[in-house]
Amino acid sequence: MQLASKVAVVTGAGQGIGRAVARALAAEGASVVVNDVQAAKAQVVAQEIRDAGGRALADTNSIATMAGAEALINACVAEYGTVDVLVNNAGVLRDRMSFNMSESEWDDVIDVCLKGTFMCTRFAVRDMRARGTAGRIINISSRSGLRGNVGQANYAAAKAGVLGFTRTVSQELAKYGITVNAVVPRAVTDMTDSIPENVKKAKDASWAGTSVRKRGTPEDVAPIILYLALDESSGITGQVIGLGGDKLSLWSHPTEVAEAFVFGGWNLETLRTLFKTSVGYQLQSVGNKD
């Protein structure tokens, strides 16, 4: 019961990773608001938690709207008096090549994954600051946001945005004792069902010959969320931490891999020379590799 007396909100908790996280938080004693637009699923997860002796409230607001995000946080405060932990987990995919992507496919993903993260954070932090709560914000990002992924321009942009948001808000909230971290999960869920089998097989093949599981279950992801939610994790903020199956990764923050200066500024000739020599040798390929 390491989170007894804590109050947590988990968005998109009707299934998958969010469900596992909500159940794990409740098993450690937290009161949990189980948010999901799939109303029946949110109700089922809240009931599962109550049946196991925990405290849970189902909430069916869409976090893709400002009004929905505010109503979610207000419902949490009305029921449990405060909000200590916010897990911005809700996500959707609308995969298509960027040159064929529609406006609504772009907007749907940005609204849920990026704008929803901002809006829920905004309202939760308003409550945390007012009460002097040393809150915990945990944002779910993706490898697509770190390294890009073909067919996911909308999702990669949103999840990369989540990382920029995390780094910025962690700095803004440090003086209030509120931590903000990003988790990059990997688990077999309904969402990964849309990954073509041949791609999944190709990725898993790279792990052949080892007993390591890199694509685990939603329950495998939950412990890192629990750990970041603890009081003792007050020193961890602005970080990007991957967890999938047996593998945990701490991601670097973007750093310059090469620097060069020329007195008076650059021109085509000095740039050409540079790219054909030192900087050119340091160009890195990008792709969603392990």
Ligand X SMILES: NC(=O)c1ccc[n+]([C@@H]2O[C@H](COP(=O)([O-])OP(=O)(O)OC[C@H]3O[C@@H](n4cnc5c(N)ncnc54)[C@H](O)[C@@H]3O)[C@@H](O)[C@H]2O)c1
**What's the closest the beta carbon of residue 90 comes to ligand X, in angstroms?**
4
Cβ nearer to ligand X, comparing 117 with 179: 117
104 binds ligand X (CB under 6 A): no
Q: Which residue among 155, 176, 227, 281 is the active-site one? A: 155
x/- track of binding to ligand X for residues 140-179 (CB under 6 A): x-x-------------------------------------
**What's the closest the beta carbon of residue 38 comes to ligand X, in angstroms?**
4
Q: Active-site residue 155, yes or no?
A: yes
Cβ nearer to ligand X, comparing 42 with 173: 42
Q: Total number of residues binding ligand X (CB under 6 A)?
A: 28
Cβ nearer to ligand X, comparing 17 with 56: 17
278 binds ligand X (CB under 6 A): no
186 binds ligand X (CB under 6 A): yes
Cα–Cα distance for residue pair 222/17, rounded to 1 Å: 7
Binding site for ligand X (CB under 6 A): 11-12, 14-18, 35-38, 62-64, 89-92, 112, 140, 142, 185-187, 189-192
